[in-house]
Amino acid sequence: MEAAAMPRPPCHSLPSSPRLPAHLSLLLRPRRSLALSAPAARPVVAPCAAAGHRGENETTPIEKRFPPFPTVMDINQIRDILPHRFPFLLVDRVIDYKPGECAVGIKNVTINDNFFPGHFPERPIMPGVLMVEAMAQVGGLVMLQPEVGGSRENFFAGIDKVRFRKPVIAGDTLIMRMTLIKLQKRFGIAKMEGKAYVGGDLVCEGEFLMATGSE
């Protein structure tokens, strides 16, 4: 059976789109160094307001400079769908979601992640294979739903054309978008496009082949 090309779903286009909501636009600003600087005559420790984005000043409320992530799906809802558990559950929150079409998930990369002591002790970089796994889990949230016919007992994935653009380090927030582009519903095979960002920088991309089994 020929794979039917599906129209692009209406999930928000990342990292830039004229229709991107304000909270995602702020989230996806290009990565900038937050190192605090001060004139030579001033103390080394600068006020907290100095860490704001360009065009902001100390009178801007902190909640407007750093708005909270929206929560479309929290960790408990994610655990209800995905079979993964510690230390291999790599999606903390979903901030945009359309079942059977697309999802945008986040992974907060912290120095306490269990892979950093060995990768690497002097330069904590998130392993590329775990970035791919995290993206595949976001894809699982798209496909492993009753309305799509997926089942968490049968879930496999293949990858193709994966490229790593920039390293992801401790302290980054990895934003992952998975979009369904082809579906063979009869055979339960789906092809997805995945892209991952830190700020406005594309850090990883690739194609994912997923097979889901019905219960």
Catalytic residues: 119
* Nearest one of 7, 8, 15 to 195, comparing CA atoms: 15
Q: Which residue has the tokens 């999802």?
A: 103
CA distance linking residue 102 with residue 133, whole number of Å: 17
φ and ψ of 89, to 5 deg = -90, 115
Beta partners for 157?
210
Run of H or E residues at 130: helix 128-143
* Nearest one of 36, 33, 22 to 65, comparing CA atoms: 22
Run of H or E residues at 156: strand 155-164
Question: For residue 125, what is the DSSP state?
Answer: B
